[in-house]
Structure 1
């Protein structure tokens, strides 16, 4: 089984005053590096980063060996980035999907979710009653989720339509589930202890 990781990093960051979330400083480097490093160390065989707004800067910030794809339709919503990512990610039986604004992601979390995944299911890490990332799909399901996605909903429509196959995995303590939407969010996350799932 090989795993393709997809990082959705195409948004315009409008609630952050027009700043690219992927490029926000986090522990001494761009936030994108935190996410890519966790996916790589957690077991993904290949990583694809989908850029859109600020594409040149996001692509330039990607670590060596990371596949990048530019979504020219990023302003139409996350659904177009999901499709762009799937189109660029070939040859993998399993897909691990995450957004870039999930700074609490750790290699330990990724390993746990991948190890728990079973064929025919969609594995969603849960932090209490809050879902997080990465969401792990069989390739066929990831392709279907990309086809069905509309606007800015990402894979939510597909997950809602296949609740019987969604496996909610308790990952409390493996990562901080906070995301980054407004300027103060990243600073708050930096002050929390999110090291427990790093190994």
Structure 2
């Protein structure tokens, strides 16, 4: 574990992967997507957060929830630090997934500083970007009140750090598909530039990915 990851673990920074959407443009729920090598995107997202020292980690699933939970179970088994929360009204937008994930983390009582939020459709996200965002948050005078967002050549993206002291107010005001965007903008979120580490782009269309888009079909050579 890197020094940055060790500091994250010591500060008890949690992780939250938003993976509840139907992926209509993509061709199927992205929580079920796999790389050509057979690695589940959701598994990669969790491992990236783990590599950066995040624990516990919650995955918010919705569309194709049963299949998504099976994929997660296959990857992590009985790992008590990785858990799912099923978002029944996932179609209402990202806000409900974020609210459900925060509520699940709040109920476990194991988070001391804040949470790193990321999206399942960022399979290229490097752990170094997560570490940089966390380090920026921990470097503030009061990390529990920190808000830090990764930027890529100045463009805001993920991951995002949300300090524990913001959770209640954020959850109360979440609506639609904007997620925490408006809250971050209105509360002076600090930027952590990560453009030299990665481009920050998500995967919206199956033509640009290696996933076929259904729960029983995976990329060629992965066994299906």
Whether the TM-score (by the shorter chain) exceeds 0.5 is yes
Partner of 1:6: 16
Q: Deviations over 1:43-72 (max 9, x none)?
A: 101110000000001111113221101011
Matches within 5 A, 1:88-167: 88-90=104-106, 91=109, 92=111, 93-117=113-137, 118=140, 119=143, 120-162=145-187, 165-167=188-190
Q: Is the Cα–Cα contact under 8 Å of residues 95 and 176 in structure 2 kept in the other structure? A: yes
Partner of 1:21: 30
User: Could you tell me the TM-score, scaled by structure 2's length?
Assistant: 0.78
Matches within 5 A, 1:40-59: 40-59=50-69
Instruction: Name the CA distance, whole Å, in 2 between partners of 1:124 and 1:134.
Output: 6
Question: 1:122 Cα deviation (Å)?
Answer: 0.8
Q: Which has the higher contact order (CA 8 A, sep 6+)?
A: 2
Q: Deviations over 1:93-143 (max 9, x none)?
A: 211111111112121111121111132331111110222211001112133
Out of 40, 47, 70, the residue aligned to residue 37 of structure 1 is: 47
Runs of 4+ displaced beyond 3 Å: none
Aligned alpha-carbon RMSD (Å): 1.4
Instruction: Name the CA distance, whole Å, in 2 between partners of 1:175 and 1:126.
Output: 10
Count of aligned residue pairs for this structure pair = 184
Q: Deviations over 1:21-51 (max 9, x none)?
A: 1221224311111111100111101110000
Q: Is the Cα–Cα contact under 8 Å of residues 62 and 89 in structure 2 kept in the other structure? A: yes
Partner of 2:99: 83
Runs of at least 5 residues in structure 2 that lack an aligned partner in the other structure: 1-10, 211-224
User: Could you tell me the TM-score, scaled by structure 1's length?
Assistant: 0.87
Partner of 2:195: 172
Question: 1:151 Cα deviation (Å)?
Answer: 0.9
Higher-Rg member (1/2): 2
